[in-house]
């Protein structure tokens, strides 16, 4: 039997206009709250109970894991318009931190989970979201296992430029070079040398303290080149 809450929300989904994750979350807007986090503030920690789904309104979030020896690996960066916490089971597998000041829309996960259980269109949206995340994780693993430092940095910049399914030449870098290093399995010195080499080669150019331009008409990932 469909629960009253899920059924009521389900009526607002329509047949075709809510078949993506953004549409599903929009249908939960009456349950949504805004949350603000300062630079480097923890949003949730690895092992915390997964009670909330988040969508980035402003800023950038990093998903990371800290080892017992104090090393950090950044699995992913979440940008404006992207959601996280959707596919968690009971506990969070990673820690989420604000890169700089972040504003998030927060949705209660129990309400979302009931909606998923009762509506096939919502299930399809969640599966598509999970498939995208899996593809991104596989791509990143391939980058780490097959590319040198300069290629890793260029792959990272190209992926930032093509998030959302379209290519742009200007890339905003809200994260610092240590964050990039911890994401790419490099040292901060290696990241700096790689960026310098790419500038010297003319592949990229600076457009401000936190913005780079990808030069040339073809923004292909070195993996596919």
Cross-strand partners of 76: 63
| CA 203 to each of CA 46, 155, 156, 177, 211: distance values in angstroms, whole numbers, following the listed order | 38, 12, 13, 18, 14
Count the domains in the chain. 2
Question: What is the domain extent for residue 21?
Answer: 4-140
Q: Residue 77 sits in a domain of what CATH number?
A: 2.60.120.10
- Does the pLDDT at position 9 exceed 70? no
Long-range contacts of residues 153-156, Cβ cutoff 8 Å, at least 24 apart:
153/180, 153/184, 153/186, 153/191, 153/194, 153/195, 153/198, 154/194, 154/198, 154/203, 154/204, 154/221, 154/222, 155/221, 155/222, 155/223, 156/180, 156/183, 156/184
Alpha carbon distance 48, 211 (integer Å): 34
Quick one: pLDDT band at residue 132, thresholds 50, 70, 90? confident
pLDDT at 165: 61
> Above 80 in pLDDT, residue 36?
yes
**Averaged over 137-144, what is the pLDDT?**
89
> Is the domain of 112 the same as that of 62?
yes
pLDDT at position 13 over 60: no
Would you state the pLDDT for residue 18? 44
Render pLDDT for 172-211 as a digit per residue (tens, 0 to 9): 899 999 999 999 999 999 999 999 999 999 999 998 888 9
Among 87, 113, 140, give the residue marking a domain's end: 140
Please check whether residues 46 and 123 belong to one and the same domain.
yes
């Amino acid at each position: 039997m469909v629960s009253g809450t899920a059924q009521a929300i389900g009526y607002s989904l329509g047949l075709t206009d809510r078949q993506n994750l953004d549409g599903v979350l929009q249908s939960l807007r009456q349950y949504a709250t805004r949350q603000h986090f300062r630079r480097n503030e923890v949003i949730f920690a690895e092992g915390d109970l997964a009670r909330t789904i988040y969508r980035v309104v402003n800023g950038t979030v990093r998903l990371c894991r800290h080892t017992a020896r104090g090393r950090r690996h950044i699995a992913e960066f979440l940008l404006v318009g992207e959601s996280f916490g959707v596919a968690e089971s009971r506990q969070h597998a990673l820690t989420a931190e604000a890169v700089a000041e972040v504003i998030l829309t927060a949705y209660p996960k129990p309400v979302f989970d009931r909606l998923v259980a009762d509506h096939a269109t919502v299930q399809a949206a969640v599966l598509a979201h999970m498939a995208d995340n899996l593809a991104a994780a596989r791509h990143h693993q391939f980058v780490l296992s097959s590319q040198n430092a300069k290629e890793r940095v260029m792959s990272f910049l190209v992926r930032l430029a093509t998030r959302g399914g379209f290519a742009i030449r200007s890339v905003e870098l809200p994260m610092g070079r240590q964050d990039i290093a911890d994401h790419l399995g490099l040292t901060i010195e290696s990241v700096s040398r790689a960026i310098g080499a790419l500038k010297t080669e003319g592949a990229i150019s600076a457009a401000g303290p936190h913005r780079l331009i990808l030069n040339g008409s073809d923004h292909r990932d070195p993996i596919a080149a």
